């Protein structure tokens, strides 16, 4: 769910005769984590809308690798799991089962922790961050304007 909540096409489904994987099929603590991830997505829907509009009218991308924005930074060429949503949101999702830390490359720009607003002090280097299950490593580019909205149970009510 950490990655899927941020993909342009976000949905959760499974194959017939396999265990359910919708949030209600999990423990209350797992469900709370999934709901939190989806609330972040719903909060960012105006930003996604803008990115989709630009993709349609200008041919830009919604999700992009770091080297798309930092083509002269050779470090970004080998980063496959960390990515950008537009130019202004960077994610470093935990993808290894049981991992509670993640290595994050901070490219040259001012990046701020999504949850705390604390500026990342490193530039053009890797840092290791704690990543408990209930926290998705998300960073916002300094100076960016990111439109948001209050999340709700579905997109109709969050407008």
Torsion angle in degrees (nearest 10) through CA of 124, 125, 130, 135: 20
Q: Minimal CA–CA distance to 101: which of 79, 62, 127, 138?
A: 127
C-alpha 22/C-alpha 4 separation (Å) is 12
Q: Is residue 158 part of a domain?
A: no
Contact of 124 with 107, CB cutoff 8 Å: yes
Is 99 within a domain?
A: yes
Residue 159 lies in a domain: no
**Residue from 12, 145, 7 nearest 63 by CA:** 7
Does 151 reside within a domain?
Answer: no
10: number of CA atoms within 13 Å, CB side?
23
Is 150 part of a structural domain of the chain? no
DSSP 48-85: HHHHHHHHHHH---SEE-HHHH-TT-GGGGG--S-EEE
CATH number for the domain that contains residue 75: 2.60.40.1180
Q: Tokens representing 53? A: 């509009």
Element (H, E) at 127: strand 125-130
109 domain-assigned:
yes
Per residue in 83-96, pLDDT tens?
Answer: 999 999 999 988 88
CA angle 25–63–52, rounded 5-degree value: 95
Q: Which domain holds residue 14?
A: 4-141
pLDDT at 126 over 80: yes
Instruction: Kindly list the distances between the CA atom of residue 110 and the CA atoms of 47, 51, 68, 119, in Å, as whole numbers in the listed order.
Output: 19, 21, 17, 7
User: Which residues partner with 10 through β-bridges?
Assistant: none
Each residue of 11-52: pLDDT tens digit? 777 778 887 777 788 888 888 888 889 899 999 999 999 999
Flag whether 153 is in a domain: no
Q: How many domains does the chain have?
A: 1
Is residue 16 situated within a structural domain? yes
pLDDT, tens digit, 9 for 90 and up, residues 72-125: 999 999 999 999 999 999 999 888 888 889 999 999 889 999 999 999 877 788
């Amino acid at each position: 769910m950490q990655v899927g909540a941020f993909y342009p096409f976000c949905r959760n489904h499974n194959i017939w005769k396999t265990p359910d994987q919708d949030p209600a099929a999990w423990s209350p603590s797992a469900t709370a984590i999934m709901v939190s991830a989806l609330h972040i997505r719903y909060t960012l829907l105006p930003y996604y809308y803008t990115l989709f509009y630009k993709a349609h009218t200008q041919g830009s991308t919604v999700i992009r690798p770091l080297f798309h924005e930092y083509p002269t930074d050779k470090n970004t060429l080998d980063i496959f799991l960390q990515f950008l949503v537009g130019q202004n949101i960077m994610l470093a999702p935990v993808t290894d089962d049981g991992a509670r830390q993640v290595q994050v490359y901070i490219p040259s720009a001012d990046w701020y922790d999504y949850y705390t607003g604390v500026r990342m002090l490193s530039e053009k280097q890797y840092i290791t961050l704690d990543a408990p299950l209930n926290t998705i490593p998300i960073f916002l580019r300094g100076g960016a304007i990111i439109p948001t909205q209050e999340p709700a149970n579905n997109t109709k009510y969050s407008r």
